[in-house]
């Protein structure tokens, strides 16, 4: 597998795939080869199909997890091994569409107030105030804060794209207080080693601890703050295109799902029934049926 692994890594590197994706794809191909105890180049469409059935029926993995394995197999056979059958024979599972659970503004405040650690509170505040993915929040550098233009630079977000987001005056105040206490130099939120940023798992653990303390019944992950950011912006009148740019979404379709959860906007819309003239009661009251 060594030569194939090297070649696949090079192919992913040339296409500038994110490090997380490269690592996930390699793990999936290793698991696939182990399952059959054979080299992937010696396997074909029948084995791919059997493996997808195994992941779905035996392992009972979610469509999202099967999608990662499918993406890895497609890349291996289509790009690295250049097999003509690759795309037709490796179907991508359809993922069910689920609306995210949205925290209200009051719940966001209640949650943030439940974070005891100064650094953890600062990073979760940043995730909400700027709508960042957790991988983006953990990689904010001290130099990414532009207080002159009131902007926060997101360096190499998803799909390796840079973008700018608003720097909230209130967040700037909080970050200045945090900086005075911690004095970070390179990474705004350093990990155990100052040369490395805080890990995603450390942020998620802090998030779960605060969730328990807050007593909020809704499920909360660090990503919930990004969902809340988008929904609260939409509810306060921001247009979808602006929110798309702030979130760094490639497609407007991805951002449009927030239209489905912006309940204070959507559900506050007047029903056409309320605009009808008053409906008169029926002239004859129906008599209840008699039972013999």
Q: What are 45-65's pLDDT values in tens digits?
A: 999 999 999 999 999 998 888
Q: What is the mean pLDDT of residues 132-152?
A: 93
Residue 115 and residue 178: Cα distance in Å, rounded? 14
Q: Where are the domains of the chain?
A: 2-89, 105-266
Whether the Cβ atoms of residue 181 and residue 120 lie closer than 8 Å to each other: no
- Residues catalogued as catalytic: 133, 158, 223, 226, 249, 258
Sign for the CA dihedral angle at 246, 248, 252, 255 comes to: negative
- pLDDT, residue 123, reads 96
Cα–Cα distances (Å) from 25 to 40, 68, 258, in that order, read 13, 7, 30
- pLDDT, residue 97, reads 60
* pLDDT bucket at 69, cuts 50 / 70 / 90: very high
Environment class of 172 (CB within 10 Å of its CB; exposed 0-12, middle 13-18, buried 19+): middle
195 CA to centre of own chain: 26
The fold of the 105-266 domain, in CATH, is: hpI Integrase; Chain A (1.10.443)
Residue 219 has pLDDT above 90, yes or no: yes
**Yes or no: is domain 2-89 CATH 1.10.150.130?**
yes
Q: In a 3-state reduction of DSSP, which class is residue 261?
A: coil
Residue 80 and residue 101: Cα distance in Å, rounded? 39
Mean pLDDT taken over the chain: 87
Q: Backbone phi, then psi, for 77, in 5-degree steps? A: -80, -30
Q: What are 3-48's pLDDT values in tens digits?
A: 999 999 999 999 888 888 899 999 999 999 999 999 999 999 999 9
Environment class of 126 (CB within 10 Å of its CB; exposed 0-12, middle 13-18, buried 19+): buried
Residue 1 has pLDDT above 60, yes or no: no
- pLDDT, residue 158, reads 57
């Amino acid at each position: 597998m060594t030569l194939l692994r090297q070649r696949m890594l090079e192919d992913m590197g040339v296409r500038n795939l994110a490090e997380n994706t490269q690592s996930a794809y390699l793990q999936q191909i290793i698991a696939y080869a182990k399952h059959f105890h054979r080299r992937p180049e010696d396997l074909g469409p029948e084995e791919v199909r059997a493996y997808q059935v195994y992941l779905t029926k035996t392992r009972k993995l979610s469509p999202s997890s099967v999608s990662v394995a499918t993406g890895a197999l497609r890349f291996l056979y289509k790009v690295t091994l250049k097999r003509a059958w690759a795309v037709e024979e490796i179907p991508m599972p359809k993922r069910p569409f689920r609306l995210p659970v949205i925290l209200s503004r009051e719940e966001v405040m209640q949650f943030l107030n439940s974070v005891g650690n100064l650094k953890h509170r600062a990073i979760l505040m940043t995730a909400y105030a700027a709508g960042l993915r957790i991988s983006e929040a953990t990689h904010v550098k001290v130099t990414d804060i532009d207080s002159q233009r009131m902007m926060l630079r997101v360096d190499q977000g998803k799909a390796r794209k840079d973008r700018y987001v608003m720097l909230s005056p209130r967040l700037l105040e909080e970050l200045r207080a945090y900086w005075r206490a911690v004095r970070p130099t390179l990474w705004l939120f350093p990990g155990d080693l100052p040369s490395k940023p805080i890990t995603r798992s450390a942020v998620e653990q802090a998030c779960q601890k605060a969730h328990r303390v807050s007593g909020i019944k809704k499920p909360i992950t660090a990503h919930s703050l990004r969902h809340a950011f988008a929904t609260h912006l939409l509810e306060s009148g921001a247009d979808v295109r602006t929110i798309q740019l702030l979130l760094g979404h490639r497609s407007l379709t991805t951002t449009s799902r927030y239209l489905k959860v912006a309940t204070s906007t959507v559900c506050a819309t007047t029903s056409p029934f309320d605009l009808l003239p008053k409906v008169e009661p029926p002239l004859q009251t129906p008599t209840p049926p008699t039972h013999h």
